[in-house]
Amino acid sequence: MGATMHRVGVHRWRAARALILIACWVTFQAAAQAVRDEDGRYYAENGEPTYHIAQGGQVDWYTFNGYRRYHAACHMCHGPSGEGSMIAPPLLAPLKAMDYAGFQDIVIHGLRTVGPAQQRVMRAMGEDQNVVCNLPDIFVYLKARADGALGQLRPDNHQPKPAAAALNEAACREASRPRR
Ligand code: HEC
């Protein structure tokens, strides 16, 4: 008797849990979906920068650039496609939930976890123009990887570089030039 009731409860809970998961998944998918673009840069409904992959598999230029920048500045620690290494944790799972502001904060200021068993330190990269001036691009690349929208390979099928990209990068480099 008690066992039967218990089992019914478990079934209900399983059904509810499945519904909750589906609801979260739908919300999440909607959040990552690009709803508008400005000069080739795509944004999600919540205003966050995001990736765009067209029907034929062509990625937006910023996602492609993010791939290049990730491989120049992050992959030696976080692994060739964000899956982690002995030195640094994977980025794909945390990136699912992380917003751009949180991501930016970690990369610019660094992160340190000190415990009895281990000490993990990511140095602050806020002085590195190659990182700072391409940070939204690295973010959207990792989002695409985290969502499973993009594989591990270099996305060579990409949109041409928008004129705005070169201008913005030049302006960023000028603004963040170390002053002596
Ligand atoms: C020299 C090694 C190294 C490099 C290079 C590096 N990281 Fe890290 N990163 C780490 C370590 C170690 C941690 C874990 C820090 C901690 O747990 O406190 C970390 C943590 C992070 C986190 C937080 C992950 C989480 O679970 O919340 C993000 C996001 C991140 N790194 C992004 C980047 C990006 C983007 C780049 C390239 C621009 C980069 N990292 C380059 C070593 C590195």
Give the pLDDT score at 21.
61
Give the Å distance between the CA of 122 and the centre of ligand 1. 5
> Cβ(125)–Cβ(1) under 8 Å?
no
Would you list the DSSP string of 46-101?
TS-EE--B-TTSPBPHHHHHHHHHHHHHTHHHH-TTSS--SSS--SHHHHHH--HH
Please say if the pLDDT value at position 179 is more than 70: no
Q: Which atom of ligand 1 is nearest to the CA of 69?
A: 38
Give the Å distance between the CA of 130 and the centre of ligand 1. 16
Band of pLDDT at residue 35, cut at 50, 70 and 90: confident
Identify the residues whose C-beta falls under 6 Å from ligand 1: 73-74, 76-78, 87-89, 91, 94, 103, 106-107, 111-113, 120-122, 125, 131, 138
Please say if the pLDDT value at position 76 is more than 50: yes
Please say if the pLDDT value at position 64 is more than 50: yes
In the chain the domains, ranked by start, together with CATH numbers, are: 54-175 (1.10.760)
| Partners of residue 113 on adjacent β-strands | 120
- Nearest Cα neighbor of 134 from 49, 47, 36 is 49
> Cβ(160)–Cβ(75) under 8 Å?
no
Q: Which residue has the higher pLDDT, 176 or 141?
A: 141
Query: Model's pTM, two decimal places?
Result: 0.84
Give the pLDDT score at 24.
52
